[in-house]
Amino acid sequence: MSASFTGKVFVVGDNIDTDQIIPAQFLNLVPTIAVEYERLGSHAMAGLPTGLYSVPFVKPSALDSEYGILVAGRNFGCGSSREHAPIALGSAGCRVVLAEGFARIFFRNCVSTGELYPCELLSRLCDSVSTGDEATVDLDAATLRLHHTDTVYSFKPLGEVRPVVDAGGLFNYARNSGMIAR
């Protein structure tokens, strides 16, 4: 699994709950049905109030996002246990979320599904980066480098959850490591 990602950053603030990540009206879509998985991606972050976030994460009528890296404040992914949330982000093409803090179930769902690397920042980043900035995330070094300023920010190493996401989620990991039968 590639240890670094380069792409555009999308920035949000504190307390982004799962209703904002994937609004409830789209929970009629079943993530294990391939076409519905795709459609979930097209609605990723559609619940952000437009007054606060003028740029959409996914352009109207697009299936995927141009932002591969999400930067957030405290308590990202709070609210419901819907796995549709990390799945919508993953389906839209996002690979990594860096937040000051994560809600427990969202963090776990990122790992179980293998959709996203949830990285905990060591300092508040969402006030110093802007949506559209180019950056590189290096999972081995646990850093994010902002291209235009060449500043490097560190996050907590992923530790024991890294190999689970690398493997593509809980089931692949459990099979590879012999926890469940192949």
Partner 1 sequence: MTLTEKLLARAAGKARVQPGDNLWVKADVLMTHDVCGPGTIGVFHREFGKDAKVWDRNKVVIIPDHYIFTADSLSNRNVDILRQFVRQQGIPYFYDVIDDPDGSWKFDAAQGNLKRQYGAQYAGVCHTALPAKGHTRPGEVLLGTDSHTCMAGAFNQFATGIGNTDAGFVLGTGKLLLKVPETMRFRLEGRMQPGVMAKDLILHVIGEIGFDGATYRAMQFDGPGVASLSMDDRMTVANMAIEAGGKNAIFPFDARTAEYVDARTRLNGTKSSYEPVEADAGEQFVFEMVVDLDKLEPTVACHPDPGRRKKARELGGMKLDRAYVGSCTGGKTSDFVEFARVLRGRKVVIDTFGVPATPDIVRDLQGTFWSGRTIWQHLLDAGVQMTENAGCAACLGGPVDTFGRINKAGIKCISATNRNFPGRMGNKESEVYLASPATVAASALTGCVTDPRDLLSG
Owner of token pair 């890294």: 162
Pick 7 or 90: Cβ nearer partner 1: 90
Pick 93 or 101: Cβ nearer partner 1: 101
Residue among 138, 133, 96, 90 nearest 115 (CA): 90
Distance between CA atoms of residues 140 and 1, nearest Å? 11
Residue 3 Cα to chain centre, angstroms: 16
Q: Interaction with partner 1 in 18-47: which residues (CB under 8 A)? A: 19-20, 23-25, 27-33, 47
Shortest distance, position 34 Cβ to partner 1, whole Å: 10
Residue 103 Cα to chain centre, angstroms: 13
Pick 71 or 78: Cβ nearer partner 1: 78
* Interaction of residue 152 with partner 1, rule CB under 8 A: no
Residue 69 Cα to chain centre, angstroms: 7
* Interaction of residue 136 with partner 1, rule CB under 8 A: no
* Interaction of residue 79 with partner 1, rule CB under 8 A: yes
Report DSSP state, residue 95. -
The CA radius of gyration of the chain, in Å to the nearest whole number, is: 15
* Interaction of residue 180 with partner 1, rule CB under 8 A: yes
* Interaction of residue 116 with partner 1, rule CB under 8 A: no
Pick 85 or 146: Cβ nearer partner 1: 85
* Interaction of residue 17 with partner 1, rule CB under 8 A: yes
Extended strands (E) in the chain: 4-11, 67-72, 96-99, 117-120, 134-138, 143-146, 151-154
* Interaction of residue 55 with partner 1, rule CB under 8 A: no
Size of the site for partner 1 (CB under 8 A): 42
Q: How many CA atoms lie within 13 A of 128 on its CB side?
A: 16
Q: Which residues bind partner 1 (CB under 8 A)?
A: 15, 17, 19-20, 23-25, 27-33, 47-51, 74-75, 78-84, 101-105, 108-109, 112-113, 169-171, 174, 180
